[in-house]
Structure formats: structure tokens, C-alpha cells
A and B are shown apart, each in its own frame.
Chain A
């Protein structure tokens, strides 16, 4: 019975739909999303330093970029260069930092090694040449006292990592 129904179905299928080709039209809309993968924290290894380095109990912030099409966007990431602090600081803060690719959704990361420096030295630009996900980290170290290594006054210190997705 089952075989008979299957045979009838096949015959009907052939006779009622002699042409079964189907076109599927569409396009992929390019899209970029930027998000915090890992929030950062500052460690305080000594009185005059705040750092995101894990060795000093900090945590390096990791930013995730998702693009639906390759070569549609540039990623620009900047490590912080100022504090929004409470209380306000009377002396200067010296910043050092680095931006690096942590991982991509492809094993070939060769395209991500040659980051160009944008007009600000703290910012790096990468062409997102692979569709998918790329993770970047922005390490930062801040020392207080204009080279005199003075202790940071007690309070809370927030700094801003800038992550931009710029259409190419």
C-alpha cells in the first residue's frame, strides 16, 4: 500500500510539475555590530598605576565586531587616553596602551597583522576583510604624577575605549 501511494505520488509529481527549477533571489545586507565581549577592569599594582593587565589583577577589555560581508567596514579601536574621575585629578596622567586582534572566525589572520595608525596614535584601524567575527583587545596602563609617580587620589576612575565601525 505504501509503495503504491509512493508510486502514485511520484507519477502525479512528475505530471503536475514537469519543471521544478526554482530561483531564489536576494541579497545580503552588509551590517556591522560592535559589542563588549569582556568588560575591562583596572588593577592597582602600586599607588601610582592603574592597569588592565591581568598580572596586576586587571582585566583587558575585549571588543567584538561582527560583519555580515567582507570588505564593507573598517574597525577602529582606541585605548583610553583620559580618565573621567571622581575626584578630578590635579596632576597629569601618562597613558600607554596597545590594540591587538585576539581572534577571528577564520584561522587566517594574516590580513589583520598590518593595522594602520590613524591620526591619533592611540587608535588603530583594521580593514575587516573577513565576514564574521573579530575580537580585539585594548590594553591600557595609566601612571599618575607627570613622571613623578605620585599616588592616585582615592576615588573611582573610568576611562573610555572607543570602538568604531566605519563603512568602507
Chain B
């Protein structure tokens, strides 16, 4: 009986979250000299959002140049994506945060929308 209730609740509840890991990524080496790489994973459980943007910042929240396959990318609802972020080795030491931000599209209704952002930190 309880199993049926739990299953019913799980089936009825909507997954609506934005998630990015690891919390504390590390810069790793690449085959290109002077370039470092961090690998991140994102999960999109927000049905209302399909696009996310990546940014890299220093400890004062100033942007740091970086390279990735696409800065803004699409993740389908309940989809996940693994992506690499490349950075100049000189910049890697002052890098503090790597953030993903949801990109919102208005649907013409009068309401507050939620922009979610998750920032991992280089320690």
C-alpha cells in the first residue's frame, strides 16, 4: 500500500531542478602546452528551461576568458551534458568560480520567472 502511494507521488511530482557538479573542480593538463582543462557535468531537470550559459570568474567576480565547445548550449529536459572548459594556464591560478546560468524565454504571461545559477569553486 505504502509502496503504491510513494510510487504515485514520485510519478506525479515534477522534476524542476538545475544541477552542476563537481562543486570543487580542478584544472587538469591537456595535450596543448599552456592550456588547462576542467570537466563539468550538468543535469537539466527544469522543464521550462533548455538553454544554459557558462561563465568563468575570478574572486572579484570579474570575467576570465575561457574556451568551450559552446558558451551557450542546449540541454533537453531530464538530459545531462558533460563539457570541458579550457583556460590559459596563467589565468587558471586566479580562477575562482565556474558558473552555469539558465537562460529564460518569456511566454507572454505576467509573472516572476526564476533564473537559476550554480557556481562551482576552484580551491
Contacts and interface: CB of A to CB of B under 8 A. Distances in A.
Interface of A: 29-36, 39-42, 44, 50, 52, 61, 63-64, 66, 72-73, 80, 84, 86, 138, 140, 156-168
B17 A66 contact: yes
Chain B interface mostly: strand
Interface of A is mostly: strand
Contacts of A165: 116-119
Interface of B: 15-19, 21-24, 45-46, 48, 97, 99, 104, 106, 108-121
10 contacts: A30-B22, A33-B118, A35-B46, A42-B110, A42-B111, A52-B112, A156-B110, A158-B110, A161-B115, A162-B117
Contacts of B22: 29-30
Nearest 5 pairs between A and B by C-beta? Answer: A167-B121, A35-B17, A33-B17, A40-B112, A30-B23
Contact of A34 (B104, B113, B116): B116
A80 B112 CA distance: 8
A27 to B, nearest CB: 11
Contacts of B116: 34-35, 163-165
Given A35-B18, A73-B23, A167-B119, A160 B104 contact: yes
A40 B17 CA distance: 16
Contact of A158 (B21, B46, B106, B121): B106
